[in-house]
Structure 1
């Protein structure tokens, strides 16, 4: 995968973010998309060997559309400034997300503003054994890789049905349960980029497994 070419394409796209430019450069886009899918397929095969419950996700299934959803966000540009994809993408489970773009290059995972039923299940799991999640979050290598949970909207008061003096109240107030590892374009262009993704994936795995357990029990 020629990520230099991908970045170059995205730069020109953002300078000409319209359908006319995309139509004129459709061949370039399709070539990059084809290569990105092949790269995802290779990464998917590599990560499938890491553990038995990995959920195989072909690149065509994992890749996101480059078009923004203008129906719900009419003020956004027509096209995104990144290529994104999800792997290990079992239904109703915590995400593992890859984004390669101009503003952000990152690896992320968890649940981004889950639906009320899923959010309730996560909170019930934390109420039961939140110390297990806290231990995962406090692990030095986890802190080095991700820092804390992704900063998003939080409740001011305890969620309905939970006491304000719950020992895990700070976790329970979260609406999003996700972590992010940010990277630079320079890191993406390094020969060991694939190995770096695998390393971050494995560090994130206990966190995602904990969340998945709360929504499946």
Structure 2
């Protein structure tokens, strides 16, 4: 299992996640009703502000190595806590976590980016990559991996990367993708429909004073992966 352990990353940012923020998310997971949420709305607003404050400082720190972090704010990244239950059998009205996505275009972007998931009971994680892209993006990334397999493997199979993120995650085809043979040396990566690298985070890490450094270390390690996935998509945007 990947381990997002302590880091040597140095940051000047002092934002931290409050213990009360994680406690609110734990309690919400156990009491996911509109009545409970209404009674605890002040707790939610305090927890959300804490998360947004952390994201604002996180963006400033990320801008040192990731240009897409410039000119964005925490509010541009964070997803609504209210669930869309119209077409779901799960009728819980609220998400039991906070989530934020850093990418060109903000949280609704379909481009590769960085995700920070905050939840109680050791269910937090950070992640990066490309999630369920449209057909033309999917085709372009598969071609990039096929043409530059050595470069891709040098990123995702590096010892340091594997230690943080383990194996790549994401939905995969059970058969070979159209246009490729099963003997293709890249086939294990070409079957993916999403390419995601995920690093679990414990409650202890989230509440530590150096959590910002842990997040930055993880995101900085993800940058070569995201850059590789982004490169072929820029050509699509220019067409």
TM-score, L = length of structure 1: 0.92
1:206 matched to 2:221 = no
Q: In the alignment, is residue 161 of structure 1 matched against residue 166 of structure 2?
A: no
1:153, CA displacement in angstroms? 3.1
Deviation at 1:179, TM superposition (A): 0.4
Q: Give yes or no for the alignment of 1:185 onto 2:203.
A: yes
Check the 8 A contact 1:66/1:82 in 2, yes or no. yes
The equivalent residue for 1:105 is: 124
Superposed CA offset, 1:164-214 (max 9, x none)? 222211110111101000010011111110001111111110000000012
Q: Which residue of 2 aligns with 1:147?
A: 166
1:118 is matched with: 137
Aligned-partner Cα distance in 2 for 1:87–1:147: 22
Larger RCO, structure (CA 8 Å, separation 6 or more): 2
Residue deviations 1:26-49 (CA, integer Å, cap 9, x gap): 122112212211211011011112
Shift of 1:120: 1.1
Residue 25 (1) aligns with residue 44 (2): no
Tell whether the 8 Å contact from 1:96 to 1:110 is kept in structure 2 after alignment: yes
Encode CA deviations 1:116-152: one digit per residue, 9 max, x unaligned: 22111111111221221111111111111111101x4
2 CA distance for matches of 1:48 and 1:160? 39
SS of residue matched to 2:148:
helix
CA offset at residue 55 of structure 1?
4.7
Q: Aligned-pair distance for 1:54?
A: 4.4
Residue ranges of structure 2 left out of the alignment (5+ in a row): 1-15
* Residue segments in structure 1 that go unaligned for 5+ positions in a row: none
The residue number in structure 2 matching 1:60 is: 75
Query: What is aligned with 2:148?
Result: 129
For normalisation by structure 2, the TM-score amounts to 0.84
Match of 1:194 among 212, 222, 236: 212
Structure 1 2/141 Cα, relative in aligned 2: closer, same or farther at 3 Å?
closer
Cα deviations across residues 61-102 of structure 1 (Å, max 9, x unaligned)? 101111122123241421111111112444442020001102
Aligned 8 A contact 2:60 2:70 in 1: no
Are residues 177 and 20 of structure 1, via their aligned partners in 2, closer, same or farther at CA, if it must alter by over 3 Å? same
Secondary structure at the aligned position of 1:64 is classed as: coil
Kept in 1: contact 2:81–2:97 (CA 8 A): yes
Match of 2:58? 43
